[in-house]
Chain A
Amino acid sequence: MKRIMTCIECPQGCRLEIDADGSRVISVSGNKCKRGDKYARQEVQAPLRTLTTSVLTRGLELRMLPVRTSKPIPKGKLLEAMDAVKRLVVTSPVKAGSVVAENFLGLGADLVACRPLNKI
């Protein structure tokens, strides 16, 4: 079965043609780099997305701390992850890369801070 998709790995947005048998990818074409091939295979098998959002803080310079998952998580888990993020409050100073929640939702990815924030 042929599938057409747009690669979302970089701003070029290559048009990918994928020949797949169910979730088994036979060939990928149209990609201008290796990332496209990898993306297409992953997207057919189990789509992943990096979640970026912000978490409430208390006693820090900004009201919200921007965070991301340390690696992409299953696309179907994004809204569940957002619900869990809303229950978090960060109260200690962080640096960019500080872990805010370890092994978030048991998905094997940490939730990490995207910027430093100090106490007020």
Chain B
Amino acid sequence: MAAALAARAAGVEDVLLLERDQHLGGILNQCIHPGFGLHHFKEELTGPEYADRFVRLVKEDPAIEVSLRSFVVKLTGDRQLSFLRPGALEEVKARAVILATGCRERTREMIAIPGSRPAGVYPAGLAQKMVNMEGWIPGKEAVIVGSGDIGLIMARRMALEGVSVKAVVEIQKTSRGLVRNVVQCLEDYGIPLYFQHRISRIHGRDRVEKVDVVRVDDEFRDIPGSGFEISCDTVLVSVGLIPENELLEMAGAEMDKKTNTPASAEVNQTSLPGIFACGNAFKVYDLADSVTRDSELAGRAAAKYLGRL
């Protein structure tokens, strides 16, 4: 939305905004905690409030056509798009394309936690959607893997919902999340945070029953004799995000395989002329406000490419 609005402000006359969900706002809709907007709006908002500010501006602008429940299935290097919407497969040719496709979560499989495969192991962001948007509480006793912001925020969220959050287990020496989140999400609720520890095994046949935790040294090797068990029925995995750039790859853009972002000399640029990437699809940011700033740059870059600036 920020890219669309910035492109419009820079003189672009006709914008089509494709959204696969039934509402605009993406991940902000499930991020119901405060902490958004301090830079952009100079006040502290929740995720849905932050999104709503942009939704109102987008709706006010008749030159931005919004197409919801529209899933882009194809993008070519010469900017032909195919998207599915209820009841139709549409094709459109754009003079410039901005990809604001965000991220996916890394999963248990990607960090290879050994053990059985019982129910009760969730990516933290999925659990966030379940709790905040569907009203489903995933379990009664939880252990959280990883101390990034999503893990910390979910620790607090689960504690508020009456779940006993037994531990946050972090393999590194420090948290990747913001200090304020360690304070207000863990310390406020007395949730222990184990640095330099990892989950070495998940136990349970049908449902998670317990996890083994072990201390690791500076080279991430297990320290013999340091293991202990935590009984729990739920494990939330918060171990980072991967930019979702399959469309860009499909279009033939050069990719940085390590980060799954476009190989690019300049911010928002891809190797394909007229195709831009912004926000968490370009680089994983800590703050939504930074995503907005990045997306506004992309909107202006697209306008410049179209000769409107």
B38 x A10 contact (CB < 8 A): yes
**Are B49 and A79 touching (Cβ within 8 A)?**
no
Task: Find out whether the CB atom of A64 lies under 8 angstroms from the CB atom of B135.
Answer: yes
Specify which of B22, B34, B134 is in contact with A50 (CB 8 Å cutoff). B34
Once bound together, how far apart are the Cα atoms of A66 and B134, in whole Å? 11
Q: Once the chains are docked, how many angstroms separate the CA of A120 from the CA of B169?
A: 41
Within 8 A of A (CB), among B13-31: 22-23, 29
Pairwise interchain contact B180-A49, C-beta atoms closer than 8 A? no
Q: Kindly count the residue-residue contacts between A and B in the assembled complex, taking CB atoms under 8 Å apart.
A: 82
Number of interface residues of A (CB under 8 A): 29
Which of A21-29, A52-60, A103-111 participates in binding chain B?
A: A52-60
| Bound Cα distance from A78 to B188, whole angstroms | 11
- CA of A56 to CA of B51 in the docked complex: distance in angstroms? 20
**Top 10 A-B pairs, shortest CB-CB distance:** A13-B179, A115-B48, A66-B32, A8-B180, A114-B48, A13-B180, A96-B52, A6-B183, A8-B184, A66-B48
Sample of 18 further A-B pairs with CB below 8 A, known A11-B287, A79-B162: A6-B183, A7-B180, A10-B38, A11-B38, A49-B184, A52-B32, A53-B32, A54-B131, A54-B132, A54-B135, A64-B134, A66-B46, A66-B48, A82-B160, A82-B162, A96-B49, A115-B51, A116-B52
- By a beta-carbon cutoff of 8 Å, the part of chain B in contact with chain A is 22-23, 29, 32-35, 38, 44, 46-49, 51-52, 131-135, 160-162, 178-180, 182-184, 188, 286-287
